[in-house]
Chain A
Amino acid sequence: MNNNNVIQAEGLTKMFGDFKAVNAITFEVKKGEIFGFLGANGAGKTTAMKMLIGISIPTSGAAHVAGFDVFTQAEDIKKNIGYMSQKFALYDDLTVKENITFFGGIYGLSKLKIKEKTKELIDDLGLQEVANQLVGSLPLGWKQKLSFSVALIHEPKIVFLDEPTGGVDPITRRQFWEMIYRAAHEGTTIFVTTHYMDEAEYCDRVSIMVNGKIEALDTPKKLKEQFKVDSMNDVFLKLARG
């Protein structure tokens, strides 16, 4: 296994009964990369991601994440990754600070470290005024940014983002991508699924899934050349329509 690859999947497959949700996908993600994981609804993106983060056991194939096997070392993988789901998944009935403390605690951060992180995170996001408010009362855009920051709280090697910008406004989307770039710059590998093709352009490399298979994988530039189109949008349409 190449040491530069933080994610390596070979023939990774997930069956639900007779249905092949993910059909033998093979790919690798390099350290520090922003890897766009694209596909239409139901193409199998979320299922593939769930196998990589250790909450869905693959039917067959092999995959290593952060150097650990998804079959046997799922709990070791979890220590080294952050995850932000499509659903907002912090506790609505805890305050901003309590959520940070809670997740910091789960990842085994020391009290001192949690305190530092809390301050840093709240300052970065400009959430000082709402730090003691229930998270449920915040607007969606703020919640998503908070959620992303919490996913990074234990300084993971890889962070998995499942449609992180779904339903937020363009300004927040832009800010969100700035945060992603910053994290990538600091060496965190970003694995992101999205439906926004402009966001796909921001990625270092992009894979496009169709019906459980990876049909294309390259840099956005090369993909556009390969399909002889001007935008990722057209690449996606060509592939997804078949």
Chain B
Amino acid sequence: MLPIIFVLPLLQLVILSNAATFEVKNIKFAYIDHDHSSSSRALIEKFEASTYFNVLTDFPSETQASSAMLKGEVDVVLEIPSHFERNLQKEKNANLGITINAIDGAAAGVENVYVSQIIQSYNKHIKTDLMQRLDAQIQPVNIASIPLFWYNETLNYKTYMVPGILVLLVTMITLFLSGMNIVREKEIGTLEQINVTPIKKSQFIIGKLFPFWVIGMGLLTIGLILARLIFDVPMIGSLFLMYFYTSIYILVILGMGLFISNFTDTQQQAMFIAWFFTVIFILMSGLFTPIESMPEWAQTLTEFNPIKYFVEVMRMVMLKGSGLMDILPQLIKTLVYALIMNGLAVWSYKKAS
């Protein structure tokens, strides 16, 4: 069992961290060129030059393009109307048709941004060209914004995902193990045997939970080592602070697991409830979707999500080098959570019925 407890989550860490990326690459791009001018070709070349787009085909007509999109063969179709070049030069204005397959809404959004950026840069180019030709006295004013990505300069998704996924693994393993464990003793009858001994509630609970606390800390350690060695995730902040926070955080999860096992009679029930909470916690943790874009009621709910705090703290400390004072709000909330959860767990664990 022990090897399973350690090997599977770490395998997950390696696989998920590589797979869970929000980058949209290899966009299947097609175009319909009604204009066949040098301007339209220049625009298409821009797309060809981009590393994000795989320029597939030139469709002769709209119907063919839309049937290809229906089959999922293309993601983005650019339609260049006839007289595109003429309109651009004469009226300094031309329209383009962009069709994006939005089955995957998130990807479609990203694709839209990429397409707009390419067209804008093309636009600027044209403008400069035209201006120089028409009126040399007016200098083109180019305003470009150069984004600086702090704490993760290259927008490396692994840097961003690894701490988060590590958090999930530590949480899941400790929640499931502690939730299952006491229920299992109920099932096999050893709990009754323990209940007729003079053992104190606190002794029993500490004895039950301490091993899982150690396992959780062990997982964190191995996970951090892998994060450093395989993914080269920066660890700017204090390791001690990370461990300190995690040691309190695991108490929340263990208390929760114990609480679940006090209210269930079989391992299946415990598993079901543990899953219910893990799924909600994970999806509402801000790991995969930003909490800021959730509706207000959902944002309020995330206040009760321990994973959210853990993800925040891990990212803050690892990537930003935040100190104790920076994570104090999360730390205090987690501490209160731990006290409440374990209080409930001890209260609901009864030696007599």
A interface residue numbers (CB < 8 A to B): 53-57, 74-76, 78-79, 81, 83, 85, 87-92, 103, 106-108
Residues of B with C-beta under 8 A to A85? 189, 192-193
Q: In the complex, are the beta carbons of B198 and A75 less than 8 A apart?
A: yes
User: Which partner residue on chain A sits nearest B203 by CB separation?
Assistant: A106
Q: In the complex, are the beta carbons of A55 and B197 less than 8 A apart?
A: no
| Interface pairs (20), CB distance under 8 Å | A54-B352, A55-B196, A55-B353, A57-B352, A74-B351, A78-B197, A78-B198, A81-B196, A85-B189, A85-B192, A85-B193, A87-B189, A87-B192, A89-B193, A90-B190, A90-B193, A106-B194, A106-B199, A107-B197, A108-B198
The number of residues on chain B lying at the interface, defined by a beta carbon within 8 Å of a beta carbon of chain A, is 14
Question: In angstroms, how far is the closest chain A Cβ from the Cβ of B349?
Answer: 13
Q: In the complex, are the beta carbons of B198 and A55 less than 8 A apart?
A: no
Q: Does B146 touch A at the CB level, under 8 Å?
A: no
Q: In the complex, are the beta carbons of A83 and B189 less than 8 A apart?
A: no
Q: In the complex, are the beta carbons of B197 and A74 less than 8 A apart?
A: no
Question: In angstroms, how far is the closest chain A Cβ from the Cβ of B199?
Answer: 5
Question: In angstroms, how far is the closest chain B Cβ from the Cβ of A43?
Answer: 19
Residues of B with C-beta under 8 A to A74? 351-352
Q: A53, A57, A78, A89: which contacts B189 (Cβ < 8 A)? A: A89
Q: Does B195 touch A at the CB level, under 8 Å?
A: yes
Q: Does B144 touch A at the CB level, under 8 Å?
A: no
Question: In angstroms, how far is the closest chain A Cβ from the Cβ of B2?
Answer: 12
> Restricting to B175-199, which residues have a CB under 8 Å from any CB of A?
188-190, 192-199
Whole-angstrom distance between the alpha carbons of A90 and B79 in the complex? 75
Residues of B with C-beta under 8 A to A107? 197-198
User: Which partner residue on chain B sits nearest A70 by CB separation?
Assistant: B352
User: Which partner residue on chain A sits nearest B201 by CB separation?
Assistant: A75
Interface of A is mostly: loop
Interface of B is mostly: loop
Question: In angstroms, how far is the closest chain A Cβ from the Cβ of B212?
Answer: 16
Residues of A with C-beta under 8 A to B196? 53-55, 78, 81, 83
Residues of A with C-beta under 8 A to B353? 55-57
B interface residue numbers (CB < 8 A to A): 188-190, 192-199, 351-353
Question: In angstroms, how far is the closest chain A Cβ from the Cβ of B325?
Answer: 44
User: Which partner residue on chain A sits nearest B193 by CB separation?
Assistant: A89
Residues of A with C-beta under 8 A to B192? 55, 85, 87, 89
Q: In the complex, are the beta carbons of B193 and A83 less than 8 A apart?
A: yes
Q: In the complex, are the beta carbons of B352 and A55 less than 8 A apart?
A: yes
Known A55-B352, A74-B352; contact A103-B197, beta-carbon cutoff 8 A = yes
Question: In angstroms, how far is the closest chain A Cβ from the Cβ of B78?
Answer: 65
Whole-angstrom distance between the alpha carbons of A91 and B198 in the complex? 18
Residues of B with C-beta under 8 A to A76? 198
Question: In angstroms, how far is the closest chain B Cβ from the Cβ of A89?
Answer: 4
Whole-angstrom distance between the alpha carbons of A56 and B352 in the complex? 5
Question: In angstroms, how far is the closest chain B Cβ from the Cβ of A156?
Answer: 10
Residues of B with C-beta under 8 A to A83? 193, 196
Residues of A with C-beta under 8 A to B189? 85, 87-89
Q: In the complex, are the beta carbons of B351 and A91 less than 8 A apart?
A: no
Q: B188, B197, B351, B352: which contacts A106 (Cβ < 8 A)? A: B197
Question: In angstroms, how far is the closest chain A Cβ from the Cβ of B152?
Answer: 46
10 smallest A-B Cβ distances: which pairs?
Answer: A87-B189, A89-B193, A83-B196, A78-B198, A89-B189, A79-B198, A106-B197, A55-B195, A55-B352, A53-B196
Q: In the complex, are the beta carbons of A87 and B198 less than 8 A apart?
A: no
Whole-angstrom distance between the alpha carbons of A83 and B199 in the complex? 14
User: Which partner residue on chain A sits nearest B204 by CB separation?
Assistant: A106
User: Which partner residue on chain A sits nearest B190 by CB separation?
Assistant: A89
Known: A87-B188, A89-B189, A108-B198. 6 other contacts (CB 8 A): A55-B196, A74-B352, A76-B198, A79-B198, A83-B193, A85-B193
Question: In angstroms, how far is the closest chain A Cβ from the Cβ of B87?
Answer: 80
Whole-angstrom distance between the alpha carbons of A57 and B196 in the complex? 13
Whole-angstrom distance between the alpha carbons of A78 and B192 in the complex? 12
